[in-house]
Structure 1
Amino acid sequence: MSAPDGPVGTDRSIGQLFASATTELSALVHDEIALAKAQLRQDVKRGAVGGGAFAAAGAVLIFSLPMLSFALAYGIHEGAGLPLWASFLLAFAANVLVAGLLALIGMVFAKKAKKGGGPQKAVASAKETAAVLQKAKPHPRAAAPASSRLGLPEGVGGKAEAVARSSS
């Protein structure tokens, strides 16, 4: 919030109050928009990390299967003495397990991005602010004597007040 335009204790006109309220409401709306953008950026980053993990899982399956599978299968065949077909099957299962773990990581990040709900939070906050502003009532002020409203000196107010009451 900004400091009042005039010195403390001085009354500001309705126009000044309205201008101040309009300026502050405009600043509030701009801040709400900036918040929505920041939350959206965060959700996009999370989605990008999830997408990257899914891409890494695909890359593991595509590029490492031939080389890794051959190396692993021949290693199992030599070390365990299993038939060659069983060694290749175990090598494939190991690659699928790695790809499954990477896909699981991708799903966790994708769920976090979906749960973030950045724009929805900002819209809810803006609606809450609007509801509070609609319920706001002006501060009750004591009625000023007619002499001060009419700009008359202090002692002349009695007659002016009577005239003001009778004419209204």
Structure 2
Amino acid sequence: MTAGSTPTDSASTGELITQLAAQTSRLVRDEIRLAQKEFQESAKHAGIGAGLFSVAGVFAVFGVATLIAAAVAALALVLPVWAAALIVGAVLLAVGGVAALTGKRQVQEASPVPQRTVANVKDDIQEVKDATHDRT
């Protein structure tokens, strides 16, 4: 009987184990090939999605720039163009400054160490120590 044949009632334990090893090895190889193919397809879709997000970002930037130009043009109806551009620029800088300060505060509040996790681990260690001392 070969490693690729089907088990029968007359097969010895050794032959059955050999078949099991061969079939398990083939199954693992097949599953690895399937996982590689699925990963490649997933990576392809992720790459296309990332590219489309980039295109969307570029168009969003152009859209915002157009809206800013429209704001300048609208103000230019009642003010000189240079004054309209100056006002819109000042507003944009103010919004950017507020966003920067808010972001800075958020970064400062962020802790590089997960405080609750560290505290939980310390509590767990202390509990194990206490349980160990109680047994002795």
Give the TM interval when normalised to the shorter protein: 0.3 to 0.5
TM-score normalized by structure 2? 0.40
Q: Identify which of structures 1 and 2 has the higher relative contact order when contacts are C-alpha pairs closer than 8 Å and 6+ apart.
A: 1
TM-score, structure 1 as length reference: 0.34
Which protein has the larger Cα radius of gyration, Structure 1 or Structure 2?
1
